[in-house]
Amino acid sequence: MKVFLTGATGFVGMEVMARLLERGDEVVALVRAPDAQAAQGRLDEVLGKLWKDPSPYRAGASAIVGDVTSERLGLDGGLPEVDAVVHCAASIEFSLPLEEARAINVEGTRRMVEAVRSARVKRFVHVSTAYVAGQTSGRFGEDQLDIGQTFRNTYEQTKRESEEIVATSGLGAAIARPSIVVGESTSGWTPVFNVLYWPLNAFKRGLFDEVPVLLEARVDVVPVDYVADGIVALVDRSDEGVFNLVASEQASTVTELVELACRRFDRPPPKLIDPAAEGGGAGAKHGAVYLPYFDMELVFDDSRTRELLGIQPPRFRDYFGVLMDYADLAKWGKRGFARDEANERALSAAS
């Protein structure tokens, strides 16, 4: 299969690319760069993050200069001839001004839809987020999108807007909605340490005096290997509609997360306060953009995903230690290892 991939330089995108290349598919990646040589150079850097020796995979991965913020994606001749398109590219910066976020997430998706329609591609997979649910509570299903919700940040809002474009495009697209994505469940490997990692590292360093959370709130976390497996499965299928790649009923509560962190870092439990109250110390102030994800009374329904794809994620508590082992090894992002190297280390440690 030949797959056109956006967002190949991002966390989820590179994991999807790794799976496609490892099974023998060809990947054409849209890469922002001044010229073809620079674009291929950026893609080669990503391959180097995935494998210590990426040479066996270089022939299957090619870069094409383009940008989702440019007219026609910056592709004068339109999309190359491919079997499928996977659209992972997005700005995940929570504090980006709304119009800037829309330029990337909404208008970029609109251009991608137009390109897919013109090329008559057989399969289109769009990567959204479960947090299009915004600030709501209860259950949020795969058949729901606009329920009058408000949003915590411009990322959530613009991903909802971009999902609506795909859902109404008539292209028969599959929409993948992952929740909070962390490192691989088998090795802990990740090239980025944000969202969940930030408060855990802050707690480890003693930066939290008080934590504004709801004790029974659910923190829906999934490993990137589960998310990438789900996206690749959607590439292979013809089912359309939304697929929630989430922990759902298995999501950890804040209470469980605190217990795991206290045992791991050998620290006493922090004082947990009402999210509406002011406080939290320096750690909470600097991590304010992430803390709203720790006071959610929301369950994502993934029954359709489990039924059609036949997959379900591992329980967070079962691979939490693996994530933290890799975080310590990588010095919480100050040092990096190739994906296959991290897996080799994990296998060696297990044996």
Q: For the chain, which residues make up each domain, given as ranges?
A: 2-339
Residue type, 179: S
252 phi-psi bin (left φ>0, alpha ψ -120 to 50, beta other): beta
Q: What is the distance between the alpha carbons of residues 315 and 195, in angstroms, rounded to a whole number?
A: 18
Average pLDDT over residues 80-103: 96
pLDDT score for 293: 83
pLDDT digits (tens, 9 = 90+) for 231-264: 999 999 999 999 999 999 999 998 899 999 999 9
First to last CA, the chain: 36
CA dihedral 180, 26, 170, 94 (to 10 degrees): 30
Residue 213: per-residue pLDDT: 76
Band of pLDDT at residue 287, cut at 50, 70 and 90: low
CATH number of 2-339: 3.40.50.720
- 8 A C-beta contact, residue 199 and residue 267: no
pLDDT of residue 18: 98
pLDDT of 271 reads 83
Of 121-135, 193-207, 273-287, 312-326, the least confident: 273-287
Average pLDDT score, the chain: 93
Q: What is the pLDDT of residues 104-131, one digit of tens each?
A: 999 999 999 999 999 989 999 999 999 9
